[in-house]
Amino acid sequence: MLSKGIRYMLLATLMFAFMKVLVKYVPHIPPAEIILFRSIVSFGFSFAALRYQKVNVLGNNRKILIMRGIAGATALILFFTLLQRIPLAAASTLSYLAPIFTTILGIFLVKEKVKTVQWFFFAVSFAGILVIQGMDTRIGIEDLIIGVLSTFFMGLAYNFIRILKTSEHPLVIIFYFPLVTIPVVGVMSYFNWVMPEGIDWPILVGIGALTQIAQFYMTKAYQAEAVAKVSIVNYTSIVYSLGFGFLLFNESYDLYTYLGMGLVLAGVVMSVIFKNRT
């Protein structure tokens, strides 16, 4: 029988997969506008939780909190753009580079040491990205750049979180994401607004709600089990992405693209396992 932490993580990854599906169902809505709705939902939940627990909503290290918010907003805008441009599983695979950039940027931001063998793991993952881009005609150089930049900013945001973990309440870190994001995407949406119609409204609200549910169960997973045990489960989301992409969007891949996905996953998983063991 699966442990409680594993069940929580499996549920979290499923909710994130549903969220990605909904993003692909509104390709006519600009990514910044989708994130605006998502952030408004997140702002409401986070603010209510902070008030309930009587935590100072503005936190202590506001400079890093704002920088984390900006990095997270940039990463999400780029990732949602990618989701609307390329197949679901390919976009999800590119997002798996985030732990690699987290480690590389950690060298400079949190003085993390990287072993020689880890650079080999990184090279395996980047080789997989080149295979995917070279063999799948639906993925252009511009898409590859958007995907890599998205994971770069994800890695930057994760390192800011690592810096903040000793000075800030976790809910404050979560709260600053919509706090910073709403003004940014609000201005972007003002100049490129597309009025949602009909089914668009519940989809946009659903994206925000699913994200909150996923984050809740992911937090529960990390509270219930050792990080090393549940973090690997996060990569099962590629199965959801492949399945939903095939069933809902008629997406399929050739053998070389699957090989590229496998290389990306192999490099990241080997790096995570090595890091957890050391």
Calculate the alpha carbon distances from 217 to 13, 191, 222, 247, 252 in Å: 9, 35, 9, 26, 30
Spans of all domains in the chain: 4-277
Q: Which amino acid does the sequence have at 76?
A: L
Q: How far is CA 68 from the centre of its chain?
A: 14
Q: Which residues of 221-259 are buried (b: 16+ CB within 10 A; e: fewer)?
A: bbebbeeebbbbbbbebbebbbebbeeeeebebeeebee
Whether the per-residue pLDDT at 161 is higher than 90: the answer is no
Supply the pTM of this predicted model.
Answer: 0.88
Q: Which residue has the higher pLDDT, 11 or 166?
A: 11
The closest of 145, 138, 140, 146 to 251, measured between CA atoms, is 138
Can you tell me the distance from the alpha carbon of 160 to that of 274, in angstroms, rounded to the nearest whole number? 22
**Contact call for residues 163 and 109 (beta carbons, < 8 A):** yes
Task: Classify the phi-psi angles of 117: left when phi > 0, otherwise alpha if psi is within -120 to 50, otherwise beta.
Answer: alpha
Q: Which residue has the higher pLDDT, 101 or 223?
A: 101
Whether the per-residue pLDDT at 229 is higher than 70: the answer is no
Can you tell me the distance from the alpha carbon of 112 to that of 221, in angstroms, rounded to the nearest whole number? 25
Confidence of residue 217 (pLDDT cuts 50, 70, 90): confident
Total residue length of the chain: 278
Confidence of residue 198 (pLDDT cuts 50, 70, 90): very high
Q: What percentage of the chain exceeds 90 in pLDDT? A: 47
Q: What angle do CA 174, 144, 239 make, to 5 degrees?
A: 65
Contacts of 134 (CB under 8 A, 6+ apart): none
